[in-house]
Amino acid sequence: MTADGKSVYNGMPATDLGEQGWERPWSGPNGGQCVETKQLTDGRVAFRQSTDPAGPALIYAAEEIAAFVRGVKAGLADHLVAG
């Protein structure tokens, strides 16, 4: 639930999650387009695009984020990077 009692769901407007607590752990090559993350009170993690902060938020369970990070560290996402 958000501070105003709304349910948190995948694809909801990121602004419904409030403006506090968003971080930029990854940044584009020129500091431009960034992915922002926010730890939710129930342990899930929200992602949004910094250039579209009112756009949709993608919501993932902590376990999903942990699995993704492990996979990236293991090289399983290397095919996503050109060159």
What is the pLDDT at residue 13? 95
Average pLDDT for 1-23: 87
Mean pLDDT of the chain: 87
Average pLDDT for 15-42: 82
Which of 2-6, 29-33, 43-47 is the least confident region? 29-33
Average pLDDT for 23-51: 83
Task: Please enumerate in sequence order all residues whose Cβ is within 8 A of that of 35, keeping only pairs 6 or more positions apart, or say none.
Answer: 24, 25, 26, 47, 48, 49, 50
Please write the tens of the pLDDT for every residue from 40-68: 999 999 999 988 989 999 999 999 999 99
d(C-alpha 54, C-alpha 10), whole Å: 14
Q: Do the Cβ atoms of 14 and 32 come closer than 8 Å? A: no
Phi and psi at 35, nearest 5°, equal -90, 130
